[in-house]
Structure 1
Amino acid sequence: MTAALLFARRGFATALVAPQVNLQDARTTALLEASVRLLRSLDLWDALEPRSAPLAHMRLIDDTGRLIRAPEVTFDAAELGLEAFGYNILNRDLNAVLMAAVEAESGLTWLQDTAASVRPGADRVDLSLASGTAVAARLVVGADGRESLVREAAGIATRRWTYPQKALVLNLDHSRPHSTISTEFHTPTGPFTLVPLPGCMSSLVCVVEPETADRLAALDDAALARELERRAHSILGAFTIAGTRQLYPLSGLVATSVASARCALVGEAAHVFPPIGAQGLNLGLRDVADLVETVDRARRRGEDIGGAAVLARYEATRRSDIASRTAAVDLLNRSLLSGFLPVQALRSVGLYLAGRIGPLRRLLMREGITPRAARLAPPVWRAAG
């Protein structure tokens, strides 16, 4: 929806092929500062901000219980001159606001359908939808997830891997305020992360072994709340389960290219990694911003917007960001699983230095919310609104 809105706002005749929006999704998304600017440029942030909670502090706690443990580190957005690193919001609220904007946008046709086939050609891509409708375009943007039909049609291969982990995801009420602090416990099985929501609520991502995740998910609400409070060391007081719980096996995927045959990939069609560090959707929104900027520049030059040269430029803008984010998340996750003492020592020393050396800490904070490559790129959000 964000990609369709940005293209339409730039004056492209745009069709959004997507089923009805999921307005029941109880998961949350932490929108980091660059994503907030992008949504602000679309005049959507005023509707989103009241439904979100600011993430002004990020607290990392080593709860591995191992011989070598890192000191506790807290990152403060004010040190970068920001009110917050980002804002956490329920997916159903984000979807509702985006849906209303899509429905109101002139120049944007929403076909509430799914693609049955995608056939790239020399000068256009032909799509056949499940309803039998035919669509043709000079450029197709595949935002269709990890099993992307667009990616397959473009002949783009992937590298995939799995982790011996599952994530238990749910929302919690708690008796103590979170004080805009996002807390991540590093445990031997993966991160246990509490992210603020409005009021005395937080979203939880608990990464554990698959059998432990299944056991936790099978508990009744009262027993699960007690167990999660124990794992959180009661830092937010007593827990109450709010809504449903969901389980996700952890895996990763990287496409060998993000563009080919008049098709460009964004989001999980291009990259998938564990829910660590709030990187997933934010990386996807940077894909969208770079793609729209690249295609709009090409149009102003009179180029074929789906041509090989334009797609090559998009590939060049995204490769470093995707590779660095994927490697960082993978390395952090694997470092928690490793019992190898040198690995534990390196992670501990890194966090110790981040807590003690201001310039290093600020560099890590800046890279965490917006990598250097994205900060230097032309900001699509300045011209999109």
Structure 2
Amino acid sequence: MRQFDIAVVGAGLAGSLAALALAESGRSVALIAPPARAGDGRTTALMDQSIAFLKTLGLWDDIAPHAAALETMQILDGTSRLLRAPPVAFRAGEVGLEAFGYNIPNAPFLTVLDARIAAHQGIARLENGVTAATAFEAGVELVLDTGERVTAGLVVGADGRKSKIRDSAGIDVKTWSYPQAALVLNFTHERPHGNVSTEFHTESGPFTQVPLPGRRSSLVWVLPPAEAARLRDLSTSDLGQAVEARMQSMLGKVSVEGGAQSFPLSGMTAARFGKGRFVLVGEAAHAFPPIGAQGLNLSLRDIMALREALSSEPATVGERFDRKRQADVRSRTLSVDLLNRSLLSDFLPVQFLRSAGLHLLSALGPLRGIVMREGIEPLGSLKALRDMLRERVARKQA
């Protein structure tokens, strides 16, 4: 029976990054997941804190050529409602950054991770599914779909919304759905995007264009499911015309690359994020609509917190990790849920509050700064305020 310090179950972006981060701490790691992975045409926007984490793992130089900077993020009201909000632009330079983060296509991102994992002597890649996971006093026994058994002192569930590890740990989950689907595609355009991401708020949800290298962008278009399916099945020419019309030709003529994908929108949160020798990261722990570039950024904070929690005994890592992650995960989930539901609501007071909030962000630079700092890093605005006060005290004492 093979033994490891840590077993990571699931080899998507979150699981692969967790395996690399944990192996860098000197522990023996098994990364367990089947080899087959469907082609992923989606992209992932990572904020400054997450990019810094990739740099600590030595990954950024290989990923950077595939990424596009997010220097400005603007929100435009694309509704026809009575109460409409003004345009709001968030510029990275306002908070002292060259870019908020970078948009990265998932396919080359995963290719880089697979190559690094294959070359890492501290990671054993087991291309199997897990059929059972049972905790005992000294560790956890995992049964693979081949019948092989392996043991680990700690098991990290990164195996998605239908997590086998979460079920094996006896952790409950809360799920909910939205009357929406996300249409996802990449496209080329005539005019340069200038590293600007534009999010139109519409009655059915956000329409979000995010830069890619060159005159290319990715798109997440949230729609009623039937409309998302209709657009997905259009010819690339007709779909390109629909995208261009929705964008009001901001980027000129649009040409859709390949086929579009659509996904029903739903949310999920585990009742707890760790228990004994089990911890949950990524979509095994939390999932919500692709709004505000929070998904993988939240998962990377899971991994950062897990590395800190490993200083305790393996049998109690789960409880320590759970305490570390509760506030961040719950607050981000609630924020995304409220924003999404506010776009769907026809209730005038809700529309008023959303419009008034965007008016304030448009008019008040300091408030925009607070929001930008929080979007990049939890408690980022408080850290910025602390650093500013320390700098002023230092100047007075000099």
Does the CA-based 8 Å contact 1:166-1:247 persist in structure 2?
yes
Indicate the SS of the match to 1:353.
helix
Letter in 2 for 1:117: A
1:197 alignment partner in structure 2:
212
Letter in 1 for 2:249: S
For normalisation by structure 2, the TM-score amounts to: 0.90
Q: State yes or no: 1:322 paired with 2:337.
A: no
Q: Distance in 2 between matches of 1:3 and 1:375?
A: 28
2:338 alignment partner in structure 1:
331
Of 193, 204, 212, 1:178 maps to: 193
Query: Shift of residue 23 of structure 1?
Result: 7.7
Query: Shift of residue 318 of structure 1?
Result: 0.5
For normalisation by structure 1, the TM-score amounts to: 0.93
Does the CA-based 8 Å contact 1:184-1:192 persist in structure 2?
yes
2:372 alignment partner in structure 1:
365
Of 137, 143, 148, 2:158 maps to: 143
Does the CA-based 8 Å contact 1:320-1:373 persist in structure 2?
no
Greater CA deviation, 114-123 or 155-164? Answer: 114-123
Of 9, 31, 41, 2:46 maps to: 31
Does the CA-based 8 Å contact 1:286-1:374 persist in structure 2?
no
- 1:22-171 alignment runs, 5 A limit: 22=37, 24-171=39-186
Return closer, same or farther for 1:224/1:148 CA change in 2, 3 Å cut-off: same
Of 259, 272, 279, 2:287 maps to: 272
Return closer, same or farther for 1:215/1:227 CA change in 2, 3 Å cut-off: same
Provide Cα deviations, 1:290-324, integer angstroms capped at 9, x if missing partner: 011211x22xxxxx22x23x322211111010011
1:243 alignment partner in structure 2:
258
Of 229, 246, 250, 1:231 maps to: 246
- 1:346-365 alignment runs, 5 A limit: 346-365=353-372
Letter in 1 for 2:60: W
Q: Distance in 2 between matches of 1:374 and 1:263?
A: 32
Query: Shift of residue 224 of structure 1?
Result: 0.9
Query: Shift of residue 130 of structure 1?
Result: 1.1
Letter in 2 for 1:311: G
Q: Distance in 2 between matches of 1:21 and 1:75?
A: 39
Q: Distance in 2 between matches of 1:183 and 1:193?
A: 6
1:301 alignment partner in structure 2:
none
Query: Shift of residue 373 of structure 1?
Result: 7.7
Provide Cα deviations, 1:48-81, integer angstroms capped at 9, x if missing partner: 1111000000010011110001100000001111
Letter in 2 for 1:182: S
Greater CA deviation, 19-28 or 99-108? Answer: 19-28
Q: Distance in 2 between matches of 1:282 and 1:187?
A: 25
Query: Shift of residue 333 of structure 1?
Result: 0.3
Does the CA-based 8 Å contact 2:373-2:380 persist in structure 1?
no
Letter in 1 for 2:75: L
Indicate the SS of the match to 1:193.
strand
Provide Cα deviations, 1:91-149, integer angstroms capped at 9, x if missing partner: 01110111111111121111111111111223211101112221101110000000000
Return closer, same or farther for 1:23/1:9 CA change in 2, 3 Å cut-off: farther
Of 337, 350, 358, 1:343 maps to: 350
2:9 alignment partner in structure 1:
none
Gapped regions of structure 2 (runs ≥ 5): 1-15, 384-398
Does the CA-based 8 Å contact 2:188-2:256 persist in structure 1?
yes
Q: Distance in 1 between matches of 2:33 and 2:381?
A: 28
Query: Shift of residue 32 of structure 1?
Result: 1.0
Does the CA-based 8 Å contact 1:170-1:205 persist in structure 2?
yes
Does the CA-based 8 Å contact 1:143-1:265 persist in structure 2?
yes
Provide Cα deviations, 1:1-33, integer angstroms capped at 9, x if missing partner: 111111111011111102226483211111111
Q: Distance in 2 between matches of 1:141 and 1:107?
A: 16
Q: Distance in 2 between matches of 1:320 and 1:29?
A: 23
Q: Distance in 1 between matches of 2:187 and 2:380?
A: 36
Q: Distance in 1 between matches of 2:382 and 2:136?
A: 35
2:235 alignment partner in structure 1:
220
2:33 alignment partner in structure 1:
18
Structure 1 residue runs of 4 or more that deviate by more than 2 Å after TM superposition: 19-24, 373-376
Does the CA-based 8 Å contact 2:374-2:380 persist in structure 1?
no
Tell me which of the two structures has the higher relative contact order, counting C-alpha pairs closer than 8 angstroms and 6 or more residues apart: 1
Indicate the SS of the match to 2:83.
coil
2:390 alignment partner in structure 1:
none
Query: Shift of residue 261 of structure 1?
Result: 3.5
Letter in 2 for 1:237: G
Indicate the SS of the match to 1:138.
strand
